[in-house]
Structure 1
């Protein structure tokens, strides 16, 4: 049986030898077992920032212990208990579980072959007064859809007008094949509403629990404050 619900590489595709070698080198570096900066190792933050878009730097990135931890941090920072969270319908079950565990009410917004319906997203914001929208614009889980080019700007404008953030879960960016993929939403965000999540777990190994939250503006301080409380920092050798 081949399980499609996890999204991890088959063991035969994991770069086990390369990961083992890299971890061995990392563990022997001077200062490897000292406490890292709370935001994460600067060079790694810079790498994640470059992946997200031009003009983003290490100051815009926060290292987390995997994508799920990044999502939990974003939810705690952006959505109060009892408040609504707009989500694509259908959506990633782990996002629903994280929201409900925090007392957050997921509100579904229908999708089609081109991703979330922008007109219905606008209606949902007006009806619920939600202040955040969780989405997967690239290789949506579970449909595989990619958000249409003309909708990218629309959903950012709609969220900005609603005074809301977009939590962009970019979990599969490094799993694309067959040609270039669309840039992250945050790369084209003129409003500072996108909080971007990118992870090294899916394209490498379930045990490489390393991801990043990337954002512009004062929201980064809120994300950092939650991260310090929930997990302090990520292991420096990792």
Structure 2
């Protein structure tokens, strides 16, 4: 129980009165403005650590005071006349402002997932980040201590630290990408890269083609800029390049967004031939490409084919990279490679929004790339991910062999699992969450998906958690499909 909900049980003031006063305080401070839906009786009882009867008494007092009221279909909300009771002046109706905001709210499922991830007791079977023990926190701290003399905490130039951009230029050359420092923009993670591209290069109402399913559907960063994602079918080798021409003409799409290396959420790797075909079609259609390569360093079997950007001879590809999946999501550091006029445009917008990516993160990444520590870390990370992938595959064969089908990815974090029984994945999500297991339903990545899919990740859960989670998942699937042979 947090201090926010802690009651003074040694006080002479009855518990119900303390609860009443605490809620009045939230209303008076504006934390719970007019129209706010307050937690249910059960939730309040759990938070305050009291019986529901005590909560009922406190809520009855609040209702009698005119502070709250129950509305059919809405639950109990802060009433319209609240501020006539506790103050002489009304405060703004923040609920109306929230509803009017230009940035679209996240999907309800994503909001539930984000909320559940705050709970350290949750078993996370689909989380798209490395487990904390896979990240080099201590080594990073020592590195920063040893290089503190060269650290600057001043603003960097609009494109980002010149030292880091020069270092990235050499790093990218090993991938076949010839990028001068002037054609690199440092950003605060891959999401900001997408936001800058949407705001700086596309107009309201534009369409952008992407794989179906796609990570792009799970975030509303481009949708909030008025951009419409349009799905292109996939097969085991990724996006069907031959469909791009007709899809572009049908949707009047302005760009293509694609994840060729270890696609999120399917984990598939686009082979070299398909990449060449995709780039050929896009050049013919004059369709710019946004290549998201944030998983490119996480190959587990053999190095992937060169990025699309390495084959780009016409400046058609905007390339996004990031350290979030390999070195640490908390660094919030990524980059865009693009023609200089595009970099200038996006850098100008970035300076208007955050005045530059963290100087500390830029220093740390430059240090790790220059000293070879990043390559050493990648070697160990790949080995551990390889072990985890193999173990999850073993568990799936043991518990889910007759219930689902999947392909083993060659890199990245994800296994795209199709459940053979026609169950309701949202019901599965809810049941699993009640048991403390967090899933990522396939509908998050394709709202029109008509088959039951899950995105599983072997990067976050421990080996023991994987075993427990997959075993319980198989039991819940059996329960929903009417097969009671699996032990619950």
TM-score when normalising by structure 2: 0.46
| Post-superposition offset of 1:150 | 1.4
Within 5 Å, give how 1:99-118 maps onto structure 2: 99-118=222-241
SS in 2 for 1:155: helix
Distance 1:25 1:209, change over 3 A: farther
Distance 1:220 1:81, change over 3 A: same
How many Å separate the matches in 1 of 2:302 and 2:151?
Answer: 40
Equivalent residue for 1:69?
192
More helix by share: 2
The answer to whether residue 393 in structure 2 is matched with residue 235 in structure 1 is no
Between the two proteins, the alignment pairs up a number of residues equal to: 237
How many Å separate the matches in 2 of 1:95 and 1:107?
Answer: 13
| Post-superposition offset of 1:51 | 3.3
Match of 2:141 among 6, 13, 20: 20
Equivalent residue for 1:29?
149
How many Å separate the matches in 2 of 1:57 and 1:141?
Answer: 29
SS in 2 for 1:174: coil
| Post-superposition offset of 1:19 | 1.6
Per-residue CA distance 1:4-55 (angstroms, 9 max, x = gap): 54321111111111122233345x3356122211111112112323333343
Equivalent residue for 2:283?
160
How many Å separate the matches in 2 of 1:214 and 1:232?
Answer: 19
TM-score when normalising by structure 1: 0.91
How many Å separate the matches in 2 of 1:95 and 1:191?
Answer: 31
How many Å separate the matches in 2 of 1:212 and 1:175?
Answer: 17
How many Å separate the matches in 2 of 1:110 and 1:116?
Answer: 6
Match of 1:81 among 204, 217, 225: 204
| Post-superposition offset of 1:59 | 1.3
How many Å separate the matches in 2 of 1:155 and 1:229?
Answer: 35
Give unmatched runs, 5+ long, in structure 2: 1-121, 362-488
| Post-superposition offset of 1:198 | 0.5
SS in 2 for 1:207: helix
How many Å separate the matches in 1 of 2:286 and 2:312?
Answer: 14
How many Å separate the matches in 1 of 2:246 and 2:306?
Answer: 26
Checking the alignment, whether the CA contact within 8 Å between 2:155 and 2:355 is kept in structure 1 is no
How many Å separate the matches in 2 of 1:204 and 1:94?
Answer: 25
Match of 2:263 among 134, 140, 149: 140
Distance 1:232 1:172, change over 3 A: same
Distance 1:218 1:236, change over 3 A: same
Per-residue CA distance 1:199-224 (angstroms, 9 max, x = gap): 01111222111110011353222222
Q: Compare CA radii of gyration and give the structure with the larger one.
A: 2
Q: CA RMSD in A?
A: 1.9
RCO (CA 8 Å, sep 6+): is it higher in 1 or 2?
A: 1
Give unmatched runs, 5+ long, in structure 1: none
Equivalent residue for 1:8?
129
